[in-house]
Every structure is written in C-alpha cells, then in structure tokens.
Amino acid sequence: MPIPITQYNNEVKPTWCKGCGNYAIHIAIKKALGELDIAPNQTLITFDIGCSGNGADKINVNAFKGLHGRSIPLAIGSHLANRKITVLATIGDGGCLHEGLDHLIHAIRSNYDITILIHNNQNFALTTGQATATTLEGKEMYGLPDGRPEREINIGELVLSSKPSFFARGYSGDPLQLTDIFKAAIKHKGCSVVEIMQTCPTYNRESSLEWFTERIEKLEKPLLTINDARDTVLMHEKIKTGIIYTDNSIPTFYDRLENRKNSTTELIDEVKQYDISKLLEDFK
C-alpha cells in the first residue's frame, strides 16, 4: 500500500528561490518513498550544507545535517550500524566534488547499500554562485566574469570510472521521471548514484528550463556496457536522462564480510551489550 506523500510533510515551509529545482527534487523523494511504502520512521536522509541541504528540516523522516561534503560518510556509517533503515545521502555538486570528493569514490568502490542523490546545479549556490567542478569551461560566473578557466568534471564519467553498480541521471524539470529513478535507486541492492540536473534560476540562469528542454532526451533502458554508458554521459549536444547503467553482479560491502554472513542482529543492537559508561567518563 503506498503511503500518502502528506505523511512525509511537516510544518516547515521551504525557503528556496522561486523556480528552484530543489522543490521538485524534494517532492520526488517523498513520492518515491511513499510509493515504495517506506515509512518516515524507517528512512534516514543525511543532508549536506548548501541549498540542497536546506531540505533537512522540511521533511518528516529521520534527518541528519552534517558538515559540508560529509553527508555520504554519515549515510555509510548509519547504514553499517542498522541495515533495516533505508538510507539516502543528498549532497550538492560543490560538497560532493570539492569538500567530499573522496567519499563519493569510496562509497561506489565499496558498494554500500545506500542511495546518493547529487543535486547538480553547477555552482556553490548557497554562497552566491561561485564556480564548482561541474561549472562548464568558459562559463561566465559571478566571481569569474571572464569565464571559467579550467575544464569541468563530468559527474557521469567520474562515477562510471569507479565501476558503479547503479548510475542514473534525472532532471528537476521532470519530477515524475525523477520519482521513478529514485524508486529504482532505492530498490537497487548496492550503492546507487543519481546525478540530478538541477535548475538554479538565481545563479545559473543560462541553464534554464528552456535550455534543458532543448537538450534532454530520455533513455528507454540502461546501456548494456560501461563503455556505451560512458559515451552517453559524455555527449555534448544532448543530456540523456534515465537509468544509465546497472551491474547487479557486484556484491555489496556487507555481502563480502565473512564475519557478518550469518548475523541476524544489527550493530546498533549489539553495541547495547557493552557497558560504555566508563568510556564516557573520559569525555566529561
């Protein structure tokens, strides 16, 4: 039975700018969880610092907002402690590709069973639009009136080079497709990475709804080889959206751990067997 989206709402009103892609992403997350029948108290979403991170107090799930670039390790630790909870990490392109770049690569390599949602608005938006690694080469920015001097990082190419078990690309202008992508990502057993092309009308005006509409094309089904997937994400004239690549043969981190193979309990329960009060004394 799907859970109504209203169950994931709380009384806090969003403060994103008019036309911000975060509204649609936020609704698609709630819709996906509801349609998968994953209750608010069975969900943990870790949030980063930034405009995307400002969704933390606007959703009725277990939410944790950490330091900039660190939402992925928070999600990993939580998942390792309790596999019964569905864990998602949301993060901006800045936090993901600058402050916390290492975490993305290691999460994919270890194939932890979490879902990572990268809000790619191609700028550090909360701090007023500085260029990030995804800002296109040559693009004029608030702090770079002569254009961005360095080459950009293509998130799809980076993720695929780490041999992921799931990579998809969605668009904040298509919340229905985004919901379907989120559902597939959450259901996937392993580390699912979703790059969300996110509109930011305040600091990335050129990448407007019209700009995306001219370029976006939906993929009917995932590519069969990682090389085809790479060619697809590197296309300049078109932006392909959908589930781009999956590999269900890669075992998850827990599936590889011999000493946890037959365990029926979670670390969060097992730790309760130990008296840590003496240890805590040291922090008083």
Ligand X SMILES: Cc1ncc(C[n+]2csc(CCOP(=O)(O)OP(=O)(O)O)c2C)c(N)n1
CB 154 to ligand SF4: min, Å:
20
- Backbone φ and ψ of 198, nearest 5°: -115, 130
**What would the two tokens of residue 48 be?**
């980063």
Comparing CB distances to ligand SF4, the nearer of 49 and 191 is: 49
195 pairs with which residues across the strands? 118, 169
Comparing CB distances to ligand X, the nearer of 95 and 164 is: 95
CB 129 to ligand SF4: min, Å:
7
Asked if 78 touches ligand SF4 (CB under 6 A), the answer is no
Is 15 in contact with 54 (CB distance < 8 Å)?
yes
Asked if 17 touches ligand SF4 (CB under 6 A), the answer is yes
For residue 57, the SS3 value is helix
Site string for ligand SF4, 98-127 (x = CB under 6 A): -----------------------x---x--
Asked if 94 touches ligand X (CB under 6 A), the answer is yes
Site residues for ligand SF4, 182-201, by CB under 6 A, read 200-201
Query: Taking CB within 5 to 8 Å according to partner kind, which of ligand SF4, Mg ion, ligand X, none is near residue 160?
Result: none
Site string for ligand X, 50-79 (x = CB under 6 A): xxx---------------x-----------
Site residues for ligand SF4, 39-58, by CB under 6 A, read 51
Comparing CB distances to ligand X, the nearer of 165 and 198 is: 198
**What would the two tokens of residue 33 be?**
């969880």
Rounded Cα gap, residues 123 and 20, in angstroms: 13
Stretch (H or E) spanning 239:
strand 239-246
Asked if 129 touches ligand X (CB under 6 A), the answer is no
CB 124 to ligand X: min, Å:
4
Show Cβ contacts of residue 253 under 8 Å, excluding neighbours closer than 6 positions.
Answer: 80, 110, 111, 112, 113
In order, the DSSP letters of 63-128 are EEE-STT-HHHHHHHHHHH-TTSEEEEEEEHHIIIIITHHHHHHHHHHT-S-EEEEEE-SSBTTTT
Positions that interact with Mg ion (CB under 5 A): 92-94, 121, 125
Positions that interact with ligand SF4 (CB under 6 A): 16-17, 20, 22, 51, 121, 125, 200-203
